[in-house]
Amino acid sequence: MAIKFQYNKTSLQNLGKQLKIRQRTLPTLKNKESALRSEVKRARDMAAELDQRYGEEIAKYERMQRLWGEFDSSLIRISDVELSVKKIAGVKTPVLDGVQFEIAPYNSFSRPLWFADGIVILKSLAEIAINREVFSRKMELLDHARKKTTQKVNLYEKVQIPGFEDAIRKIKRFLEDEDNLSKAAQKIIKSRQEKEKEVEQ
């Protein structure tokens, strides 16, 4: 990215301000990147843990697979998933507040005794699966923000700050050269005027 500038003091001041802004912002961006990186890891670990827990829960009930064939799945359904938003390093992330279930009325005398346990098991599995999805989404959002922050850090650190410093250096050299030329020209004019005065006298 080429930085546009002019060889004058106004441009020098503007570039100086831009450079200071980026130099002040860079540590904050690095801290944000670091915080996001640790939050992404935490969310990824939690999603993996929930994934493992879900697998373990399913494995527990596999021996009851024949019984699940008898279970009436219309007895339970998810009526609402309550989510709230939590900001982490400026990124809005979802938080699972609760899962609401609707349990259809059933006659416990005409149904097998284990149906009540089946409902509890399904509620537990659904909550784990939904929580896992929430953490996966949280991880995606945080990782996206981390990537954007990393790009900005790299842009500032490797492109803009060195670019501004280089442009400032060029302007300063140009202004110094211009000043030196101006002084040299003044000396030449002064010496000519002195020679002309000598000739006149």
Ordered domains of the chain (ranges, CATH): 9-181 (1.10.287.3240)
For residues 101 and 130, the answer to whether their CB atoms sit within 8 Å is no
- Report the predicted TM-score, pTM, of the whole model to 2 decimal places: 0.74
- Whole-number mean pLDDT of the chain? 87
Q: Which H or E run includes 76?
A: strand 76-88
- pLDDT value at residue 1: 58
Write the single-letter amino acid at 131.
N
Rounded distance between C-alpha atoms, residue 99 and residue 97, angstroms: 7
The 10s digit of each residue's pLDDT in 83-127 is: 999 998 889 999 999 999 998 887 767 676 677 777 888 899 899
